[in-house]
Structure formats: C-alpha cells, structure tokens
C-alpha cells in the first residue's frame, strides 16, 4: 500500500470522525463557497429525508457560517414549491449565506421571544427541525421540548453531534453529558417520536441516535 494511504485507511471509525471534524471541516469545507461544518455522509441522508418528507419549513438551530442553510435552500430549490429555511443562532455575524428561501432569527434558542418568532415563521407548514445549537445536555433537552411540537407527523427532528458523548475525552470527546444523553431523556418523556436507525446506515455519523421521526399516529 502506498504510504500516503496506509494511515488514513487503517483508521478506526471513531478516529476518522475526530480527524475529519478537526482537520477537514474546521479547516476548509464549503458548500457553494460558504463554509459548512456538516459531515457529508449525514448531508446525503438529509437530502433523502427532505426528498421523502417534503417539508415546507426546515428549521435549523445553530447557523455557524450558513453553509448548511444554503445547502437546505438548494435542496428546496430542486424540489420546487415555496419551501423555506429558518436558521436560528445567538449571533449571525459570521453568517455568509444569501438566498431568498433563508430567514434568520438571532437570539438564544431558549428565549421566549425567539421561540415565538420561530413559531410564527413555521406556522401553517410541515416542518422538520435540526438541532445543532448548544451541545450541553440540559440545553439540548430544553430545546427539544420547545421545538419538537413544530415537527409535522412523518417528519424528522434531528439532533446533531451526539458523537461527542461516545468518543472518549482523551480523543476529544465530551467530559459532560451532551446531545446523545439529551435524546435519551427526551425519548423517555415523549412517545410521539421514534429513532430511525436506518438513517445511520453509513455508520460514520455525527448524529448517533439523532434521527428522530415523529410518529404519524400515537
């Protein structure tokens, strides 16, 4: 084997996930010229979900540079119709995405005024929600309680970055409970959502136990 392939091809999946986030996504990864921090394997699954469920609104909690918001806007372009993206973050100073489908809401995801504004923007449409805001378990759980009612039956609530709970702190994982733990608590409270494990079939996901589908009947 050529030496330049020997090390990367022998990585454990957990090592690859850390490497990819630290050395690729955080350094130089873009969607149509706008920085994006999404795992491309997860992005592929997102397009499957959007195609299958046809949401009217894609709500993302956590905007960063806007690459994912632009990605979702382009998916909605391909589907046609009037679908829109609502992107919430405590700051949009670094946000670079511009598209007619994208609306931003600036503020803490737990702020009642932010929640009310998001509800207004999502009113009357089939919504899916992607959580990529604070990764502290207590904050994630509070957000899931606040925003999960917006998810339409058959649509998805996606909780990102639970991988940090599963990777050891010595390799860069979390030292306190994060999204993975929050999902466990949330599913214990709510019987309206179920895990869709087939969305993790590519294995190298940043969202283990993170693809939650709202049941069509209770």
Total tally of structural domains belonging to the chain: 1
Q: What is the pLDDT of residue 27?
A: 84
Find the CATH number of the domain harbouring 35: 3.40.50.150
**Beta carbons within 10 angstroms of residue 148's beta carbon:** 18
Specify the pLDDT at position 140. Answer: 98
Of 177, 152, 145, 151, the C-alpha closest to 164 is 177
Residue whose tokens read 């990864």:
29
pLDDT of residue 88: 98
Q: How many CB atoms lie within 10 A of CB 153?
A: 12
- Alpha-carbon separation of residue 76 from 43, 55, 85, 157, 177 (angstroms): 14, 9, 9, 18, 34
Alpha helix locations (H) across 60-178? 67-79, 112-122, 137-147, 163-166
Residue 217 confidence (pLDDT): 76
The pTM of the whole model exceeds 0.85: yes
Quick one: pLDDT at residue 218?
Answer: 58
Q: Which structural domain, as residue segments, surrounds residue 115?
A: 3-214
Element (H or E) spanning 8, and its range? helix 3-9
Q: Which two tokens stand for residue 24?
A: 């690729």
Count other C-beta atoms under 10 Å from residue 120's C-beta: 11
Ordered per-residue pLDDT tens for the chain, 218 residues: 888 898 889 999 999 999 999 999 888 899 999 999 999 999 999 999 999 999 999 999 999 999 999 999 999 999 999 999 999 999 999 999 999 999 999 999 999 999 999 999 999 999 999 999 999 999 999 999 999 999 999 999 999 999 999 999 998 899 999 999 999 999 999 999 999 999 999 999 999 999 999 999 75
């Amino acid at each position: 084997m050529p030496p330049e392939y020997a090390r990367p091809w022998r990585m454990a999946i957990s090592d690859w996930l850390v490497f990819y986030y630290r050395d690729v996504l955080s350094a130089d990864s873009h969607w149509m010229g706008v920085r994006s921090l999404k795992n491309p394997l997860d992005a592929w699954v997102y397009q499957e979900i959007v195609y299958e469920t046809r949401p009217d609104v894609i709500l993302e909690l956590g905007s960063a540079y806007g690459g994912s918001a632009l990605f979702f806007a382009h998916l909605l372009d391909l589907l046609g119709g009037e679908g829109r993206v609502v992107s919430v973050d405590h700051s949009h100073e670094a946000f670079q995405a511009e598209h007619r489908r994208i609306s931003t809401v600036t503020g803490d995801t737990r702020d009642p005024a932010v929640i009310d504004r998001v509800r207004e923007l999502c009113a009357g449409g089939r919504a899916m929600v992607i959580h990529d805001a604070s990764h502290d378990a207590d904050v994630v759980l509070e957000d899931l309680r606040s925003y999960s009612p917006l998810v339409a039956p058959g649509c998805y609530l996606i909780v990102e970055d639970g991988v940090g709970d599963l990777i050891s702190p010595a390799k860069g994982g979390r030292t306190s409970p994060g999204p993975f733990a929050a999902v466990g608590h949330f599913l214990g409270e709510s019987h309206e959502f179920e895990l869709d494990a087939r969305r993790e079939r590519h294995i190298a996901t940043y969202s283990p136990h993170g693809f939650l589908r709202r049941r069509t009947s209770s």
